[in-house]
Amino acid sequence: MRHALILLAAACLTTGCPKKTAEAPTPKEETASTDAGTPAEDAGAPAEDAGAPATDGGSRAAQEACVDRWLKEHKLDRYGHPEGTMFTGGTPLFNEATGETRDRLEYVFARQPDALKACPATTTP
């Protein structure tokens, strides 16, 4: 019986655990969604009205920077809530019931219309 346990332990140690490399993203894939310094959830939904965020990459980034400054000046978190607010699921942008994700700027502008006035969308032709 003792020899069987030794053989079983040796077999387990030599075979090891199988690697599942297909499930783990490479570092390049992880940073691809955040190259501009914004999370992938913020990536552009099309602007349908004047209150929607700009879709042009440069003007979108400029508008986000303006909104971030405005939120910081007003002591609000990145979603327009008071600093320190906790969210179920980690973000108010994801609706767990429907599986839908909202654009961060649209969410902020709906909660804080003054942010849109301070940082209007500028579209370039």
Domain of 105 in residue numbering reads as 50-125
* Number of neighbouring beta carbons within 10 Å of residue 104: 23
**Residues 48-75 pLDDT 10s:** 444 555 556 678 999 999 999 999 999 9
Residue 115 lies in a domain: yes
Query: Rounded CA gap, 98 and 11, in Å?
Result: 48
Q: Which residue has the tokens 């030794």?
A: 6
Q: How many domains does the chain have?
A: 1
| Backbone φ, ψ for residue 94 (5° rounding) | -105, 125
**pTM beyond 0.85:** no
- pLDDT score at 29: 38
Q: Is residue 11 part of a domain?
A: no
Beta strands in 45-118 (DSSP E): 94-95, 100-101
Residue 25 has pLDDT above 80, yes or no: no
User: How many alpha carbons fall within 13 Å on the CB side of residue 15?
Assistant: 8
